[in-house]
Chain A
Amino acid sequence: GDSVTQMEGPVTLSEEAFLTINCTYTATGYPSLFWYVQYPGEGLQLLLKATKADDKGSNKGFEATYRKETTSFHLEKGSVQVSDSAVYFCALSGAAGGTSYGKLTFGQGTILTVHP
């Protein structure tokens, strides 16, 4: 079945450092890919998404590019802030006919802590 693998955390950075959180996936066909963010004690918020190969999703300084050849959707930000401290989830929604069509399959989440 479809699956998502994220880099293991936690990740600890200083303010203004460069961030990369790796995400790779296994899926049939062309899934839609998502990054969600969860702040302490809250639900998930959509951060960005991409629906086809080579698409770049971006929001609030975060970016991720849908790479079909490497089955990856790595999250990047050039300069992190303390307010970016949260848990980040990579997820996919499978192509029609696949096991995860219409459902989200999540990675295990990566905890990011940014220090002043």
Chain B
Amino acid sequence: DGGITQSPKYLFRKEGQNVTLSCEQNLNHDAMYWYRQDPGQGLRLIYYSQIVNDFQKGDIAEGYSVSREKKESFPLTVTSAQKNPTAFYLCASSPDSSRETQYFGPGTRLLVL
């Protein structure tokens, strides 16, 4: 089955720790995205990548980093500089970076210990 997978489903972070959220797609999509979802605020764009080895900051990139070494993978690292990381993180992909529909993964919930 084609789709987007995110792991883990739940992730716990200790103070001062970096954690990495995985996102993999087998849809052969060029573009991939990371969003953060907080209650009552909709989704906000963290980073996006239009093609392998290229990515751009979204609206709330501070405290996060990404890489895009392979077409099918777009991991997100939440660094210790992100002071309020507790949220639901959603990865998405689309065939290209125009106005195509984006397809979402099941999400990772990050909690701070």
Contacts and interface: CB of A to CB of B under 8 A. Distances in A.
A89 B102 CA distance: 13
A62 interface: no
A113 interface: no
A65 interface: no
Interface residues of A, number: 25
Given A42-B107, A93-B99, A102 B42 contact: no
Contacts of B41: 108
B105 interface: yes
A103 to B, nearest CB: 6
Contact of A44 (B44, B97, B104): B104
B101 A46 contact: yes
Contact of B99 (A45, A46, A101, A106): A101
Contacts of A49: 101
Could you say which of B31, B43, B98, B107 has the most chain A C-beta atoms within 10 Å of its C-beta? B43
A106 B106 contact: no
A43 interface: yes
Contacts of A107: 42
B25 interface: no
Nearest to A95: B99
Given A34-B101, A49-B101, A43 B42 contact: no
Interface in A63-116: 89, 93-96, 101-104, 106-109
Nearest to B39: A109
- A-B pairs, top 4 by smallest CB distance, nearest first, are A43-B104, A102-B97, A106-B42, A93-B99
14 contacts: A41-B107, A42-B106, A42-B107, A43-B104, A43-B107, A46-B102, A93-B99, A94-B99, A101-B98, A102-B97, A103-B33, A104-B33, A104-B92, A108-B42
Interface of A: 31-32, 34, 36, 41-46, 49, 51, 89, 93-96, 101-104, 106-109
